């Protein structure tokens, strides 16, 4: 073995230079050019982000105070770029590295952007999702009445299942009746496809009727604080404030309930068509619930701003076809509406 003291000083210096060169090459950062998203036409933006340029600017204006910069280096993302990365994930639902490649950012950056925008949108939940509405209740009833002539309706309710990956904690609670791991989400909408109430916290094994019975809204309805009715499917108990359809509706007045209640199924279909990430979320249940609420806020903003909706996919029949026992007063109210009004 050669003694290091006998090595040629020139060779030692060359080795040091080569080692420093390799170290510098490893540390060199390759900065990919950022996309100027708003330079593209609205058709391009809609396909990838579900919003036009004017709506993206609007979203950036209301969300930028809540979006934190994700690096202290000089090449940080702007709030607009953070927003567009998250919107692409919501609209596409692809793997994070696919979103990163499309937006010229890393997978870790996509993850942080989605989280930041999700939390920012959650802050606006009670601004854009309000039951029964910012408008007078009378207008809600009139809009529902124009659908099929059913009177006194201020909302339609239904549950929908959002698939998730199997969680590591309480895994069995999230298996629904179709043996799929899901979050069961309760949605109430108006006649204009605006979502007026959302409950996104229950595992897939929980039934729709239990979600509603344990919600704050159910207690408020039971106290008679709302002037109007909800329309639900046979998965709910028939109450004097929550009317369910007839088991075998006859042509005429009895079918008006079904035609009116279908508005919530259409709304859920629009929500899932807009935001493909809701077809399967590869995150923990807690983060999945946050993303669902963020998508609801975005759906309402898109509806308010008149954004077009992609072709709707048929809504999965999530609700249980076996109805619970009807409440006697609920059946009486339902019969009264059918026979006295029509």
pLDDT single digits (tens) 31-64: 556 678 888 999 999 999 999 999 999 999 999 9
pLDDT digits (tens, 9 = 90+) for 178-218: 999 999 999 999 999 999 999 999 999 999 999 999 999 99
pLDDT of amino acid 315 = 44
- Residue 294: closest CA among 171, 185, 180: 185
**What percent of the chain clears pLDDT 90, i.e. is strictly above it?**
70
260 or 342, which is more confident?
Answer: 260
| C-alpha to C-alpha distance for 215 and 212, rounded to whole angstroms | 5
- Residue 313's pLDDT is 52
DSSP 323: P
**Residue 25: per-residue pLDDT:** 58
pTM of the model: 0.82
* 220 vs 270: CA distance, rounded Å: 28
Please report which residue ranges of the chain form alpha helices under DSSP H.
Answer: 9-27, 42-49, 53-63, 79-92, 96-103, 107-123, 125-128, 137-148, 208-213, 216-222, 253-274, 285-304, 328-336
Reported confidence tier of residue 95, pLDDT bands at 50, 70, 90: very high
Would you list the DSSP string of 216-236?
A: HHHHHHHTT-SSSEEE--TTS
Task: Give the range among 37-41, 67-71, 286-290 with minimum mean pLDDT.
Answer: 67-71
Q: Where are the domains of the chain?
A: 37-123, 128-341
Query: What DSSP line would sit under 30-50, residue for residue?
Result: --PPPP-GGGS-HHHHHHHHS
CA dist., res. 285 & res. 164, Å (int): 7
* Band of pLDDT at residue 7, cut at 50, 70 and 90: low
Burial class of residue 21 (count of CB atoms within 10 Å of its CB; 0-12, 13-18, 19+): exposed
Percentage with pLDDT > 70 across the chain:
82
Q: What is the band of 327 on the pLDDT scale with cuts at 50, 70, 90? A: very low
Residue pair 226/242 in contact (Cβ under 8 Å)? The answer is no
Query: Residue 117: which of 34, 160, 56 has the closest Cα?
Result: 56
Using alpha carbons, select from 127, 116, 125 the residue that is nearest to residue 87. 116
């Amino acid at each position: 073995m050669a003694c290091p003291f006998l090595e040629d000083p020139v060779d030692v210096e060359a080795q040091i230079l080569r080692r420093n060169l390799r170290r510098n090459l490893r540390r060199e950062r390759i900065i990919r050019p950022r996309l100027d998203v708003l330079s593209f036409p609205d058709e391009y933006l809609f396909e990838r982000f579900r919003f036009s340029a004017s709506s993206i600017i609007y979203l950036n204006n209301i969300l930028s105070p809540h979006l934190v910069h994700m690096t202290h280096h000089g090449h940080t993302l702007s709030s607009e770029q953070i927003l567009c990365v998250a919107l692409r994930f919501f609209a596409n639902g692809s793997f994070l590295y696919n979103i990163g490649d499309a937006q010229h950012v890393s997978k870790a950056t996509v993850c942080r952007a989605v989280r930041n925008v999700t939390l920012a949108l959650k802050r606006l939940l009670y601004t854009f999702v309000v039951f029964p509405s910012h408008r007078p209740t009378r207008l809600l009833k009139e809009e529902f009445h124009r659908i099929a002539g059913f009177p006194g309706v201020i909302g339609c309710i239904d549950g929908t299942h959002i698939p998730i990956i199997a969680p590591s904690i309480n895994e069995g609670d999230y298996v629904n009746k179709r043996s799929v791991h899901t979050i069961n989400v309760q949605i109430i909408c108006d006649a204009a496809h605006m979502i007026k109430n959302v409950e996104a916290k229950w595992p897939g094994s929980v039934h729709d009727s239990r979600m509603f019975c344990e919600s704050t809204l159910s207690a408020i309805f039971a106290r008679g604080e709302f002037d109007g009715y909800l329309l639900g499917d046979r998965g709910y108990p028939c109450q004097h404030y929550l009317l369910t359809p007839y088991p075998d509706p006859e042509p005429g007045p009895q079918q008006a309930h079904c035609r009116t209640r279908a508005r919530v199924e259409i709304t859920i279909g629009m929500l899932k068509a807009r935001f493909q990430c809701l077809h399967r979320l590869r995150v923990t249940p807690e983060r999945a619930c946050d993303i669902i609420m963020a998508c609801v806020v975005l759906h309402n903003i898109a509806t308010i701003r008149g954004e077009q909706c992609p072709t709707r996919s048929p809504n999965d029949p999530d609700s249980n076809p076996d109805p619970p026992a009807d409440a006697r007063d609920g059946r009486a109210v339902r019969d009264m509406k059918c026979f006295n009004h029509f």
